[in-house]
Structure 1
Amino acid sequence: MYEFKLPDIGEGMHEGEIRRWLVREGEQVAVDQPIVEVQTDKVTAEMPAPVAGVVSRLCAAEGSVVPVGSVLAVIDTGSDERVPVVDGVPAQTGMVAAAAEPSVATVTMARPQTARRALATPHVRSLARKLGIVIDEVPGTGPSGRVTEEDVRRASERRTTPEPAVPLPAARESEWRAASVASANAEERVPLRGVRRRIAEHMVKSVRVIPHVTHVDEMEMDELHALRDRLRPYAEARGTKLTYLPFFVKAVAVALREYPYLNASVDEDTNEVILKRYYNIGIATDTDEGLMVPVVKDADKKSVLAIAAEISDLVARCRSGKLTLQDVSGGTFTITNVGPIGGLYATPIINHPEAAILGLHKVEPRQVVRNWESVIRRMMYMSLSFDHRIIDGAMAVRFTNRLRELLENPEVLFVELV
């Protein structure tokens, strides 16, 4: 018997969600045959079988979240050696969740019968005592299995017994039942799974940890629009579609060298600011699965045309589900471009642990004043959300002023290229 465990594929991965089993119990599998899809914090990955044999048992349900090192399946390789089992769970497997949100009782039965001291902060332990929750019996969803405040509150809610219903007169009861059926038919419950679940967790963590401030400015786009139109035939002859976005990526990389705190992150464990001397720009991309952020690596060292080609490739693979972990890792700053869809401006949420995110919005002709005269210009709002722990408002304004200088007069951008 062979225990197939959830491997650590890097980038600080602590757990994965079982998206879909590609085999069934009793099915013969070959070496390197994909047997399960697992959603990590960043990508969906197919896990291959490391050995050949018959799938004896699947140990995690679709939709369940399991920590690294947990046994996902037991494969009968024909060997006489067998894995000892404790209460229906292979020994040394760690805790395996039976469902996406298991009950406290389920988790207690499923884990090996060994004492465990939960990882938790003093605040969370105090909350657990206040709510009458045994914290060592609460499954942790935080890093390294840490029990969070949300974990404790969920455990308290599951334990709470609803108050008994007050009996209704027969006529009122029939009306109530009819209304309840009508109400139930008007609702649909969709499991929060996969990429959407990871996005939700990531956004909640970002807002909880980072004090967000958003600065909004506007930019005149006429010169950049004209330059892009002149360069389009040149780019198309080389098989590349040229949009505004590659120019913004290049300008951001130039400006970040001058304002390094916007290309940084905060190490909460050591109370240190990490200033990064590399410029990897994430491109927030809308997909059917949810928002993904592939990364243009070393944008400061690439031409606008090379960046345009790379963005096209990343977006295409993102929407076809073919991104690798390398494609979505290592970002230092993110751009979210909602202009092609519309909208005046928004307040984007920072892609934790980064320090800032730039939102680009629709370009439209507007009446503005130049030299005390009313004229029509192509204008665009941009919104910069930043981490107020390490970035002050004045620095944010200077950063966007620099972007305006580089892009309202694109020849300045090309002078700054290295």
Structure 2
Amino acid sequence: MAIFEFKLPDLGEGVQEGELVKWHVKPGDSVKQDQTLAEVMTDKATVTVPSPTAGRVVQTHGNEGDMAKVHQILVTLEIEGAAPAQASGHGAPAAHGAPAAAAAQATGPQAASKVLATPLTRRMAAEHGLNLAEISGSGPQGRVMKADVVAALEGGSSARNEVAPAAAPAQQARPAAPSVAPGRGDERIPLRGLRKKIAEKMVRSKFTAPHFGFVEEVDCTELVALRKRLNETLANAGEKTKLSFLPFIIKATLAAMKKYPHLNANMDEAAQELVVRGEFNIGIAVATNEGLTVPVIKNADRLNLRELAEEVVRLSTAARDRKLKMEELTGGSFTITSLGQTGGIFATPIINHPEVAIMGIHRMRKRPAVDNNGQVVVREMMNVSISADHRVIDGQVAADFVYEVIKYLEHPDMLFLAMA
């Protein structure tokens, strides 16, 4: 028997560390080759780490909630024969559902580089002129977390644009005192895994992009009728596919983007450039038990209504089953979020950074409306909202874009001309 120290392999796209979300094994367990050892959450996705060989688990290194670094020992195994080669190529682990986020490493003062922090935290601090060495970390071993950077920003921390020596190890190890006084019957739920990544991404988006919102109502009566006719046609032809409203909304969005391409874009913070994307990769927000996930429909403009419907179902199911691949979570150029019948009257969703806009689709319901003849009639009405990055998208552009989308939703037959 031999002892094999299995190190965390490369996680892809320059990611250097990830949070240990869940252990699937414990000391004493026998494992087979390719059996899942642990789940690790990075700034890109949650990945499952498989065992490179069969053996018995001698020791697991790290607790759930700890940060694990690439090429550090993850599991010690007792195996038969020679130890296998360590995995080192990109994408060795398999990815499943988690929101995508940029993970570029920011440069800063030498003292700050010694501070424990994720690449995303360093980037956020650099963008706001903060010195990490001057920020008290609340994470394990004094790690500076997103919440610490936010607190420094809100409190006007003296860390801004200053250089100071790194905190002493004893200070780094001291856990932060709770900011909320305890009360009878309280339950403290740590932010971990997908929920933690959602929190970090939302904070970054709100502190990076100045949001503004715009809302307008849509008369969907003709859209409801068209969808009903097409679903009846599919059913009569023996097709299992059923069209929801989302494929029509995606098609209307794509048609509007041809006229207003700056909405189909990403913001390059480092270069301070608006990158108008050449592909139309539409993110769809999906509610899962772990939190909101945004899988991406790649090249959505190349799919017809039925293909879009099938892709929406496939990605939504994979998100809920936590079986999304890394490439299905990245590369989005615009996001549509819809809660269906629980969508409310309207909302102001948070932009999926580095995208520059997100559109919210809200509950459709029968409401009284005045027609062109001045008569009060009952129509299928729905509200559409958009949140946009005011640095690069003017209010007039966002409003015109929404009205272009509405034009196609209120007159859905025009979609077939736009797709020709």
Cα shift readout 1:34-72 (whole Å, capped 9, x = no counterpart): 111223345433211123333232111112122333321
Q: What is the correspondence of 1:145-164 to structure 2 with a 5 Å cutoff?
A: 148=149
Q: Which residue of 2 aligns with 1:395?
A: 397
Bigger proportion of residues as helix:
1
Check if 1:245 corresponds to 2:246: yes
Matched residue, 1:3: 5
Residue 288 of structure 2 corresponds to: 287
Q: Does 1:198 align with 2:200?
A: no
Flag structure 2 segments of 5+ consecutive residues without an equivalent.
84-111, 116-121, 160-166
Aligned residue for 2:285, secondary structure, equals strand
Match of residue 72, structure 2, among 70, 73, 79: 70
Take 1:244 and 1:340, find their aligned partners in 2: how far apart are those partners?
12
1:139 aligned to which of 123, 136, 143: 143
Relative to structure 1, is the Cα distance of residues 264 and 138 closer, same or farther in structure 2, using a 3 angstrom cutoff? same
Q: Percent same amino acid among aligned pairs?
A: 41
Of stretches 55-64 and 12-21 in structure 1, the one that deviates more from structure 2 is 12-21
Cα deviation, 1:298-319, whole Å, max 9, x if unaligned, reads: 1101101110011111112221
- Report the Cα distance in structure 2 between the residues aligned to 1:406 and 1:302, rounded to whole angstroms: 17
Partner of 2:86: none
What corresponds to 1:84 in structure 2? none
The yes-or-no answer on 1:221 pairing with 2:225 is no
Taking structure 1 as the reference length, the TM-score comes to 0.77
1:266-314 CA-partner distances (Å, limit 9, x unpaired): 1111111111010111110111111111111111011011100111111
1:254 and 1:299 map into 2 onto residues whose CA distance is 11
Distance 1:160 1:67, change over 3 A: closer
- Give the conservation status (yes or no) of the 8 Å contact 1:60–1:73: no
Aligned to 2:108: none
**In structure 1, C-alpha distance between the alignment counterparts of 2:312 and 2:136, rounded to whole Å:** 52
325-334 or 378-387, larger mean C-alpha shift: 325-334
1:325 is matched with 326
Task: Give the whole-Å Cα distance in 1 for the aligned partners of 2:130 and 2:11.
Answer: 30
One-letter amino acid of the counterpart of residue 330, structure 1: G
Superposition deviation, residue 11 in structure 1: 4.3
Q: Distance in 1 between matches of 2:230 and 2:176?
A: 65
Q: Report the Cα distance in structure 2 between the residues aligned to 1:215 and 1:116, rounded to whole angstroms.
A: 41
- Alpha carbons of structure 1 residues 50 and 159: separation in structure 2 relative to 1, 3 Å: closer
Query: Separation in 2 of the partners of 1:37 and 1:70?
Result: 15
Q: How far apart are residue 159 of structure 1 and its match? A: 6.7
Superposition deviation, residue 8 in structure 1: 2.9
Partner residue in 2 for 1:269: 270
The answer on 1:405 being equivalent to 2:401 is no
Unaligned runs of 5+ in 1: 82-114, 163-179
In structure 1, what is the equivalent of residue 379 of structure 2? 377
**Bigger mean CA deviation after superposition, 24-33 or 216-225:** 24-33
State the shift of 1:381 in Å. Answer: 0.5
1:161/1:281 Cα in 2 relative to 1: closer, same or farther (>3 Å)? closer
Please state if 1:57 is matched with 2:56.
no
Q: Could you report, residue by residue, the CA deviation over 1:353-373 in whole angstroms, capped at 9, with x for unpaired residues?
A: 111111000111222223233
Deviations 1:215-241 (A, max 9, x none): 101111011000001011233432112
User: How far off is 1:138 after superposition?
Assistant: 4.8
Q: What one-letter code is carried by the residue in structure 2 that aligns with 1:32? A: D
In structure 1, distance between residues paired with 2:327 and 2:230: 31
Alpha-carbon RMSD across the aligned residues, in angstroms, is 3.1
Alpha-carbon distance change, 149 to 401 in structure 1, aligned in 2, over 3 angstroms:
closer
- Check conservation: 2:142, 2:172, Cα contact below 8 A: no
SS in 2 for 1:315: helix
Change beyond 3 A, Cα 1:290–1:160: closer
* Partner Cα separation in structure 1 for residue 348 and residue 258 of structure 2: 24
Structure 1 pair 156–345 and aligned structure 2 pair: CA distance change class (3 A): farther
Specify whether residues 161 and 354 from structure 1 end up closer, same or farther in structure 2 by C-alpha distance, changes over 3 A only: closer
Specify whether residues 337 and 11 from structure 1 end up closer, same or farther in structure 2 by C-alpha distance, changes over 3 A only: farther
Partner letter of residue 219 of structure 1? V
Q: Secondary structure at the match of 2:249?
A: helix
* Cα distance per residue 1:175-231 (max 9 Å; x no partner): xxxxx99x42x2111221111111111111111111111110111101100000101
**C-alpha distance in 1, partners of 2:386/2:322?**
29
**Which deviations, in whole Å up to 9, do the C-alpha atoms of 1:97-127 show, x marking residues without a partner?**
xxxxxxxxxxxxxxxxxx96346649422x8
In the TM superposition, residue 406 of structure 1 has moved relative to its aligned partner by 1.1
| Structure 1 residue 12, shift from structure 2 partner | 5.0
SS at match of 1:277: coil
The change in CA–CA distance for 1:4 and 1:258 in structure 2 (over 3 A counts) is farther
Question: How far apart in 2 are the matches of 1:316 and 1:138?
Answer: 38
Q: Which amino acid aligns with 2:188?
A: R
Alignment equivalent of 1:124, drawn from 122, 130, 155: 130
Residue type of the alignment partner of 2:233:
Y
Report the structure number with the largest CA radius of gyration.
Answer: 1
Letter in 1 for 2:389: D
Contact 2:136–2:144 at 8 Å: present in 1 too?
A: no
1:323-361 Cα deviation digits (max 9, x unpaired): 222222221111111232241100000111111111000
TM-score normalised over the length of structure 2: 0.77
CA contact (8 A) 1:295 1:328 kept: yes
Given that 1:3 and 1:74 are in contact with CA atoms closer than 8 Å, whether structure 2 keeps it comes out as: yes
Name the residue aligned to 1:359. 360
| Aligned mates of 2:136, 2:285 — CA distance in 1 | 42
CA distance in 2, matches of 1:12, 1:331: 19
Q: What amino acid is aligned across from residue 374 of structure 1 in structure 2?
A: V
C-alpha distance in structure 1 between counterparts of 2:276 and 2:66, whole Å: 37
Asked if the contact 2:284/2:294 (under 8 Å) is kept, the reply is: yes
Q: What is the Cα deviation at residue 132 of structure 1?
A: 8.5
